[in-house]
Structure 1
Amino acid sequence: MVRIASIAVSLLLSACAQEGDFGRPAPSAWNSLVATTGTVAARYRNEPASYFPFTDDERTLRDRAWRFLMPAAEREAFIDILANLTRTRVLPPNWRDDDVTTYHAALISGSFRSPVSRYRRLSDDITADARLIPLFVATAARVADADTLRLRSLPFVKSLDDENIRQAAMRVAENRCLVAWVRLETGVRSERYRYALQHLVIEVPSVEGVSAERSLAGLDGRRALLDPLLPLEAEARCGLVEAPAPQAALPIVAKY
């Protein structure tokens, strides 16, 4: 299994990820291969990963999660590749760059005519995140409703074997952990935006900072829409953050 992941890394380093509109993965045999490899790698790590086909809403949920699971600003190609490998689960989700300074560093890198352009880019990125959150939340709610129906229907389908039941439970956990991951990453992105704004105000003061501050407040307000989707401990139960010992070993499906 490690060999499979290593081959995928080598291939991505040579060809990079193929992107479609809005930075989402383009539909192609290449990206399908990477996604399949990620599912296999996740199963090897005992993470929830079902071989069931995705519903339309499950696929849309993953498309809308893309923005939050990739870097907020262009950085070194190698880091972007690692981020894509993490998003597709070839690498574990708890491998990620927690450095709050990275967005600011990418924002001010290179030459630019006016500092105003940096403030506007910051505001645009924050606003784009804020606009996407309600769409993600609406899709996540539909997926959760479908998962509830799935679980409630299990006792009534007598022809299911143990593997069918296991795959259903894994898909429910997989969907919930994806939502938990996005909720975690929206908080990380907000912290990076705040760091960038605070440092821009010191480095190149401008009244444009007021607009960026308002955009950031709007993002934080919409981030709250993610909270009712899952219990607060979901990130820990999915292995995204360190969990207290008594809860770490409990299966996520049993809790909800």
Structure 2
Amino acid sequence: MQDTMRRPARAAPIRSLTAALQAMLVAVLAAGLPGGCARPTGDFDRATPNVMHDEILPEAGRVMAAKRGEPTSTFNLTDQEEELRNRAWALIRPASSRDWVDATATEAQRTRIIKPIDDKLDPRIYYMYLRSDKFSSSQTRYDRVISDISGDTDLVRPFCQLAVRVEDMDAERLNATNRRPDLKPEEYAAAVGRVNENRRIISWVTRALKFRLVAYRHAIDRLEIETPSRDRVWDANTAWRHLAGEVAFASGGCREKPQSGAEADARARKSRIYTHWGNERPAPVK
């Protein structure tokens, strides 16, 4: 009877904490509009340290994710897990720094305030902002697209290398839990929750890369119509193809697949000529 009487007293602080965090979130959303809930960035669009976005919102999101029945973890992050999250940010944030709407949605998903909604975002928004920028030359828009594509291409392999290390670490973590008969249920849940969190991040980056591939393809195709430039279209398409190869590598699990000698020779003989020219499509029928 005494245990029964004490249980509500222990549960009350948890309910109060949840309510307080939710109230805090509402206040942040109300005070931060229109762009206040996007993650602050500095030079080169890198995330800058911020108590609200690094501590308060993630803790509120962890509580809300747990209420939704999603696996969560209170474990400390390893160095590799911390770096994984930092590198992931560069690939999941909106490609256009002016897109504060998607930036706010991305931050809400990153902190787990809301369920994943990245599949609801519109890849055409990138070109909308690109064409609205006032440049002195139309060629500058091609330069911007090529620069954005090349920047993403350079980020894929370092992220993949880190993702593989984290996945191997998670496998070691799960094996260790199976070897510890004295493991407490909450410790096991935290271990599984951390593995789930890492997998969610890696999966999100893969989706974000595919999203950017579609966004850049749309931008190049529209630029070719709006401000034609055969040389720059060639350069943009070449950059896009390189990114597509890296996206395919990431989508395949970020691990090199062994090739036979015949496969390697066939790949070496493959033509380097790129045929995805816009003017190779049939002319519109009037």
Which TM class, normalised by the smaller chain length?
Answer: 0.7 to 0.9
Q: How does 1:34-49 map to 2 (within 5 A)?
A: 34-49=57-72
Q: Which residue of 2 aligns with 1:151?
A: 174
Closer, same or farther: CA 27–133 of 1 in aligned 2, 3 Å = same
- Higher gyration radius (CA): 2
Q: How does 1:25-174 map to 2 (within 5 A)?
A: 25-31=47-53, 32-94=55-117, 97-174=120-197
1:194 matched to 2:217? The reply is yes
5+ long unaligned stretches in structure 1:
231-256
The amino acid of 1:114's aligned partner reads: S
> How big is the shift at 1:5?
3.7
CA distance in 1 between counterparts of 2:84 and 2:168 reads 13
CA distance in 2 between counterparts of 1:197 and 1:93 reads 28
The amino acid of 1:184's aligned partner reads: R
> How big is the shift at 1:76?
4.5
> How big is the shift at 1:87?
2.2
> Counterpart of 2:252 in 1: which secondary structure?
helix
CA distance in 1 between counterparts of 2:24 and 2:152 reads 34
Tell me, yes or no, if the aligned pair for 1:20 and 1:27 is still in contact at 8 Å.
no
> How big is the shift at 1:28?
3.2
Q: Which residue of 1 aligns with 2:246?
A: 222
> How big is the shift at 1:182?
0.8
CA distance in 1 between counterparts of 2:28 and 2:86 reads 21
> Counterpart of 1:229 in 2: which secondary structure?
coil
The amino acid of 1:30's aligned partner reads: M
Closer, same or farther: CA 41–7 of 1 in aligned 2, 3 Å = farther
Tell me, yes or no, if the aligned pair for 1:18 and 1:26 is still in contact at 8 Å.
yes
TM-score between the two structures when normalised by the length of structure 1: 0.82
Q: How many residues align?
A: 230
TM-score between the two structures when normalised by the length of structure 2: 0.74
> How big is the shift at 1:20?
4.1
Closer, same or farther: CA 44–60 of 1 in aligned 2, 3 Å = same
- RMSD in angstroms over aligned alpha carbons? 2.0
* From 233, 244, 266, the counterpart of 1:209: 233
Tell me, yes or no, if the aligned pair for 2:75 and 2:191 is still in contact at 8 Å.
yes
5+ long unaligned stretches in structure 2:
1-17, 255-286
